[in-house]
Structure 1
Amino acid sequence: MSNKLLKVNIHKELNEFDLDVDFELKNGCLGILGPSGCGKSMTLKSIAGIVDPDNGIVSLTTGEKTVYFDSDKKINLKPQKRNVGYLFQNYALFPNMTVEENVGIGLPNNDENVVSEMIRRFHLEGLEKRYPRQLSGGQQQRVALARIMAYGPDVILLDEPFSAMDTVLKEQLRRELANFLNKFSGFSVLVTHDRDEAFQFCDELIILDKGKIIAKGKTVDLFENPGKVEVARLTGCKNISKIEIIDDYHVKSLDWDVTFEVSEKVSPNIAYIGIRAHDIYPGQKDDVNALDASNSSKLEMPFEWQITLTNGLLWKLDKQMREHEFEIPKYLKVDPKNILLLEE
């Protein structure tokens, strides 16, 4: 049984809000998902030692325990003393250094054997003498990862590594990074505001809003049962409505003016429901949770139809690229188990 543990419990006063983050990671990749300016990057910088929390503790156990920061014991290791690799949004490569110089910059005596191994491992052969400006975005990311991995970090911190990329490059690098993280035996923490990235990379997930953790758990569980309105929004739920509770298993949507049957007993603290746009299906007038789809508007995307009902509900349906005709059914339906019960 592994006794590896990354522990973060910190507090820091910021201008807009107070950052209060408390989590433990025992293996794999942790995602921190939230809107811009919610404290995600500040959390990473506190782990790395770039920023000092006001109080709290950051520690790493990998057989033996290393305390990075402890306000009570006045411990605060410098960033270079923490075995942490930080992948910045822009990769932070040195523009006046070649690929091999960038990879070896953190090594004692610029160890040529380690540099050669990283060049091979990250498929950078033939690029050793090039400068960052002569590399593609994907090559730059691989150089940055090679530089991090050259000194064998225990923790890798990824700060929105795909935020400034076009769609084609983003898809390619997501695959490459996913393969890399699958083979990495240490801890990784990914900061993102992109729900697809969070789902693809992260075993565990924290939802951060204005410096506070509003949800945490297994990524798939939080997507399937977000529990709160803001968590549902951040995990991509497009249909959210305030409700009136009719009885234990029925609620009235105040935004869509529809009464729905739900599969779980509705507790008094449920104030909203959510319906994911792909969880709506063609139906009949007499179906449970039937929806009148007449006079709906239709928008064609390359690989999906987006249908908006007159009451504002959005339905998304996968399509083929060469499929350009689609007749909207007269009625749609929502399975009671696909209605998310949400607290404020």
Structure 2
Amino acid sequence: MASFVMPTSRQGDGHPSPTAVSAVGLRKSYGEKLVLDGIDLHIPAGSVFALLGPNGAGKTTVVKILSTLINADGGQAQIAGHDVATSPDGVRAAIGVTGQFSAVDGLITGEENMHLMADLHHLSKPEGRRTAAELLERFDLVEAAKKPASTYSGGMKRRLDLAMTLVGNPRIIFLDEPTTGLDPRSRHNMWQIIREMVSGGVTVFLTTQHLEEADELADRIAVLNNGKIAAQGTADELKRLIPGGHVRLRFSDPAAYRSAAVTLREAARDDEALALRIPSDGSQRELRSLLDRLDSAGIEADELAMHTPDLDDVFFALTGDTNVPNQPKENVR
């Protein structure tokens, strides 16, 4: 399937949005294993970008390169206008990174973890204490602040980890599978925190194994497979790449059903249910055309339902991976 790229984001005044993350031709090998084979990315500031891919696809490698933890073998990347190769200090000053495994020290309290992070960012003692207190309150950790972090639940540790990441007031945050191991309630709480950060102007680069997480949060999604970006765009744009979308019409009047079947000869029939299934890409244009055809024939359906492929279908089609974690689909919108 050909790679799909969403048009450049633009601000309301017609000018392109500032770019938070850009990469051209990123390559990385480990020995003879080619992990990244020419990765191109463009992420507007103040947005959520989600990178999906099978285990071992190279998602974490991309994050490590963009956050200056490892060097690429080829290509170029800029973060907040700083080149990752020639200006790593500028990159580090602009970003925060939360890995899939918590960086929280369980032997000290949540408050002490925050103070330690403030010291690492060279904040003055008064500023560090003030910042820590504000973030502990923001992440609903005030009551637990003086307890050892080892006593925290998984969701509390994740919140503390993210709060520690925000001590340096980063403009761009890399979240590498941030909800791994969380229960559904904790995961939804983390989603809300991410939304609040983005509404404040932060850019989030998210890698995740939860497909509904990308569908819920991301402005743009890219699917990484065999070292290449297989496709990228909005969730809806990616879903339209996959065949299987259709409109289902159901009738209570057998005569109306038969008339519709004659009018819509391309439809698959279900004579027992008095229902027709018409292939559709889910676009407004196609739906309007279908309704116009029915109106012209004087036919009215009792029920109309749109069915489009979900991100699971996209993931399977683009990666050929039948072992993606089968996360429960939740109606969270």
Instruction: Give the TM-score normalised by structure 2.
Output: 0.66
Change beyond 3 A, Cα 1:80–1:207: closer
Q: Does residue 194 of the first structure (1) align with residue 210 of the second (2)?
A: yes
Q: Out of 34, 39, 50, which is 1:21 matched to?
A: 39
Read off the aligned partner of 1:115 and give its amino acid letter: A
SS at match of 1:100: helix
Equivalent in the alignment of 1:171: 188
Whole-angstrom CA distance in 2 between matches of 1:30 and 1:333:
34
Q: Out of 310, 329, 336, which is 2:273 matched to?
A: 329
Read off the aligned partner of 1:98 and give its amino acid letter: T
Structure that is richer in helix per residue? 2
- Aligned-CA RMSD value: 3.0
Whole-angstrom CA distance in 2 between matches of 1:102 and 1:281:
58
Equivalent in the alignment of 2:54: 35
Equivalent in the alignment of 1:56: 75
Read off the aligned partner of 1:17 and give its amino acid letter: L
SS at match of 1:334: strand
SS at match of 1:51: coil
CA deviations 1:303-344 (Å, max 9, x no partner) are xxxxxxxxxxxxxxxxxxxxxxxxx8264413444588x999
CA deviations 1:171-201 (Å, max 9, x no partner) are 3433x23432332313210112332111211
Aligned residues: 253
- Within 5 Å, which residues of 2 pair with 1:239-318? 274-276=243-245, 280=248, 282=250, 284=257, 286=261, 287-291=264-268
SS at match of 1:163: coil
Q: Judge conservation of contact 2:141–2:156 (CA < 8 Å) in 1.
A: yes
Read off the aligned partner of 2:107 and give its amino acid letter: N
Change beyond 3 A, Cα 1:335–1:3: closer
Change beyond 3 A, Cα 1:66–1:130: same
Q: Out of 99, 122, 130, which is 2:110 matched to?
A: 99
Q: Judge conservation of contact 1:29–1:187 (CA < 8 Å) in 2.
A: yes
Following superposition, the deviation at residue 79 of structure 1 comes to 9.8
Change beyond 3 A, Cα 1:152–1:280: same
SS at match of 1:85: strand
Change beyond 3 A, Cα 1:31–1:337: closer
Whole-angstrom CA distance in 2 between matches of 1:134 and 1:212:
41
Identical aligned residues as a percent: 21
Whole-angstrom CA distance in 2 between matches of 1:334 and 1:292:
9
Change beyond 3 A, Cα 1:169–1:146: closer
Say which is worse superposed, 123-132 or 282-291, in terms of deviation: 282-291
SS at match of 1:17: strand
Change beyond 3 A, Cα 1:213–1:132: same
Structure 2 portions without partners, runs of 5+ = 1-14, 252-256, 283-307, 319-333
Read off the aligned partner of 1:117 and give its amino acid letter: E
Whole-angstrom CA distance in 2 between matches of 1:144 and 1:32:
21
Following superposition, the deviation at residue 34 of structure 1 comes to 1.7
CA deviations 1:226-264 (Å, max 9, x no partner) are 2xxxxx4xxxxxxxxxxxxxxxxxxxxxxxxxxxxxxxx
Structure 1 portions without partners, runs of 5+ = 70-74, 227-231, 233-273, 295-327
